[in-house]
Structure 1
Amino acid sequence: MSYLLRHLWLIALALISVLLYLFNGSADTLALLLSEQSELAWQLVMELRVPRLLLAITAGACLACSGLLLQTLTGNHLADPGILGINQGAAIAVLCSVMFLPEQMLVGQALAGAAGSLFTLTVIGWLSQRLSPVALILCGIGLSALLSALLNLLMLSAETHQIGQVLTWLSGSLSGAYQEKALWLLVMALPVLILSVLLTLHLKPMLLDQHTATALGLESSTRLYCLLAAGVLSALAVTAVGALAFIGLLAPHLARFSGEKTPAALLLPTLLWGCILCVLADLIARTLFAPIQLPFGLIIAITGVPVFIFLLLKKPPAAKVLS
């Protein structure tokens, strides 16, 4: 109970973000709810905003959890699905699926994205055994740049009518949210998120170094399952909303300001911050220049860099401490 009380303010912030999201937008929903058009307003909320909100929350939780797992496993707080190229690997696979198998269902696209992210993770896993955490991040940045170049090359061969849609998707967009898509992402992501919760209970030894963690009984299979979970969560988010940057990086950093140290204790605030960041970013994206709606990935990217620099300067509590 004390654990939940410590994070009660963050839970309240998440609820406030949800309420703002549902009842603010290009249309003044609260005014409509109090008028004779209340039925129309509820239809607007339930059919348009609730699916979009569910998609934002689930994608944010997936990327935040993926970032926490990667940062714990690599021992580097700069690890992130976008920086290490995992998002780009998933995006290439999903784009190939959309271009060459346009009739394929979302499940097929998600499987393609999972294959792309897991391939990238295999390369990262191989490199992590031979490089220091800092060198691994540098290699990840290079791998991310290479995959981004391949992604641009693929787009050159795309049909003209597909380019605009692909660019919007790659920037991170919820404009195509609908109920079935939101429920699909939730159903696919929920088992992996539950598995991640169970895995974090065994990751406390990783707060030291890998050799000590092995000596303390951390099995290599646990590391493998964590990598698989991180890759699948990233692939699901990329398939649903595009290749978002910074969520997996910022959410664990913000969570560390709560004073928690172990991966299991950090998971709840990390998930909450991931959801809050996505919800607020999309709220800004659809209201800032209403009725024009921006891809919310652009808002995350624009605000993510200064926020990340600020967090680095503030120096959150070190994770490499066993309590």
Structure 2
Amino acid sequence: MSQSLHRAGFRAFRVGRFSRLWRPQTACWGLALLVIAAGVLLYGLMQGSLPVPASAIGRAIFFPEGLSHEQLYVVRDIRLPRLLMALLCGGMLGMAGAAMQSITRNGLADPGLLGVKEGSSVAVLALILLFPAAGVALRPVVGMAGGLLAALVVLLLARDFSRPRFILTGIGVSWTFAAGIGVFMTTADVRDVQTALVWMAGSLHAATWPLLLVAACWALPAAAILFLTARASDVALLGNQAAVGLGVHLPWLMRLRFIAPVLLTAACVSSAGSIGFVGLIAPHMARFLLRGGQVTLLSGSALLGALLVLVADSIGRLAFAPLQIPAGIVISLIGGPFFLLLLWQRRDRL
């Protein structure tokens, strides 16, 4: 047994009575991705309409004395919350996609393909247009209600997580809610429509510290649910009979791992609009690079999703300056062909 684990790349890590298996290759990939994300974050803080030298970034965050008011404002109040929001939204969408693909046992599953994103968008859009004085703290609550409603409709119509019909039903529900968004766009005031269009495209330009705090407060409990149920989810992948025999309460596990991705997606949509395909791409990249169980998959998907959104936002913000392209559009240019490739690979199973 130990020789088989050793050949598979696992090593034992022991500290006193604590013992755990780990894969050095996975740890190296994770560390490399963290370094890349930190480098992109630093580059994003430095570049823009007002270039800021790297030596001033640390001072702007920790020792603001001696910097000009303009540099301090640009780094701390504009760029830093925007880049952190990109990391947070990408991480939330990556984890949501990994959980959806695990619970449905379908590599095509993604909150954006199951109507969750559109349901959240309709609810948040209605709040913005009909109740403009409502605070940002209400957006995740309303978005979660809309996303959960869409997910429940898909579940009731498909009646099963694991069949391809679940994905196809989700696409149909997504189109239905997209039609609802179109109704809002054609009946609202032109100024409200312009604001809503930028938000729906997945733009992070309006990120602020209060909005970042609200999104983090909703994301943390949902992420905790996924990680706390990760081991039970690994067991559930062995099959329903084996999972029940090993003591897993499948109905509660399914409910928790169904609600948590909806909450993560709603928090992201409420904060940054509709950013598609991250939940589809990041888990596949995580499986290819990192491998391992649910804990590794969730961690890797969150890290890769955060990196995807961060890079997309940096490209949209800097490549066409002074114009800014929303991160959602940049990711869609990559995600569309990626989704078609996955459909082609699974053409005999749909």
TM-score (norm 1): 0.89
Q: Is 2:327 the partner of 1:296?
A: yes
> Are residue 274 (structure 1) and residue 305 (structure 2) matched?
yes
Deviation digits for residues 81-101 of structure 1 (CA, Å, limit 9, x no counterpart): 111110000011111111211
Is residue 58 of structure 2 the alignment partner of residue 28 of structure 1?
no
Note if 1:164 corresponds to 2:194.
Answer: yes
Q: Match for 1:117 among 147, 169, 177? A: 147
For residues 130-152 of structure 1, give each alpha carbon's deviation from its aligned partner in whole angstroms, at most 9, with x where no partner exists: 47521211111111111111111
Return the letter of the residue paired with 2:36. Answer: L
| Aligned match of 1:75 | 105
* Residue of structure 2 equivalent to 1:321: none
Per-residue deviation, 1:117:
0.6
Instruction: Work out the CA distance in 2 between the residues paired with 1:313 and 1:272.
Output: 27
1:120 shift after superposition: 1.3
Q: Equivalent residue of 1:77, what SS?
A: coil
CA offset at residue 281 of structure 1? 0.5
Structure 2 CA distance for partners of 1:198 and 1:140, relative to 1, 3 Å:
same
Which is higher, the Rg of structure 1 or of structure 2? 2
Once the 2 structures are TM-superposed, how far is the Cα of residue 7 of structure 1 from its aligned partner?
2.0
1:211 Cα deviation after fit: 5.1
* Conservation of the 8 A alpha-carbon contact between 2:147 and 2:266: yes
Q: Equivalent pairs: percent with the same residue?
A: 32
- Matched with 2:247 is 217
Contact 2:100 2:261 (C-alpha < 8 Å) held by counterparts: yes
Secondary structure (helix, strand or coil) at the match of 2:111 reads: coil
Distance in 1 (CA, whole Å) between partners of 2:150 and 2:244 is 24
Q: Determine if contact 1:32/1:38 at 8 Å carries over to the other structure.
A: no
Deviates more, 1:286-295 or 1:40-49: 40-49
Q: What is aligned with 1:243?
A: 274
Deviations 1:23-79 (A, max 9, x none): 222332228949xx9534343211211110111111111111111111000000110
Alpha-carbon distance between aligned partners in 2 of 1:90 and 1:152, rounded to the nearest angstrom: 14
TM-superposed deviation, 1:206: 3.3
Q: CA deviation at 1:308?
A: 4.7
Q: How much has 1:122 moved relative to structure 2? A: 1.3
Q: Given residue 14 of structure 1, which amino acid in structure 2 is its aligned partner?
A: A
Q: Would you say the 8 A contact 2:140–2:215 is kept in 1?
A: no
Q: Using the alignment, how far apart are the partners of 1:32 and 1:7 within structure 2?
A: 27
TM-score (norm 2): 0.82
Structure-1 separation of matches of 2:294 and 2:154: 21
Aligned mates of 2:278, 2:161 — CA distance in 1: 25
Q: Quote the residue 1:88 is aligned against.
A: 118
| Structure possessing the higher relative contact order (Cα contacts under 8 Å, 6 or more residues apart) | 1
Does residue 284 (structure 1) correspond to residue 284 (structure 2)? The answer is no
Answer yes or no: is the 8 Å Cα contact 1:25–1:283 preserved in 2.
no
Mapped to 1, the partners of 2:275 and 2:290 lie a distance apart of: 27
Letter in 2 for 1:71: Q
* Unpaired segments ≥5 residues, structure 2: 1-21, 58-65
Q: How far has the Cα of 1:10 moved from its partner?
A: 1.7
What is the CA-CA distance between 1:126 and the residue it aligns to? 2.8
- Matches of 2:75 and 2:344, distance apart in 1: 40
Match of 1:136 among 162, 166, 185: 166
**Secondary structure class of the residue paired with 1:82:** helix
Residue number among 316, 319, 336 corresponding to 1:305 in the alignment: 336
CA distance in structure 2 between the aligned counterparts of 1:292 and 1:134, rounded to whole angstroms? 40
Aligned: 1:265 with 2:296: yes
CA distance in 2, matches of 1:132, 1:314: 18
The offset of 1:268, in angstroms, is 1.1
Query: Structure 1 217/90 Cα, relative in aligned 2: closer, same or farther at 3 Å?
Result: same
Report if aligned partners of 2:317, 2:325 keep a CA contact under 8 Å in 1: yes
* Letter of the 1:269 counterpart: G
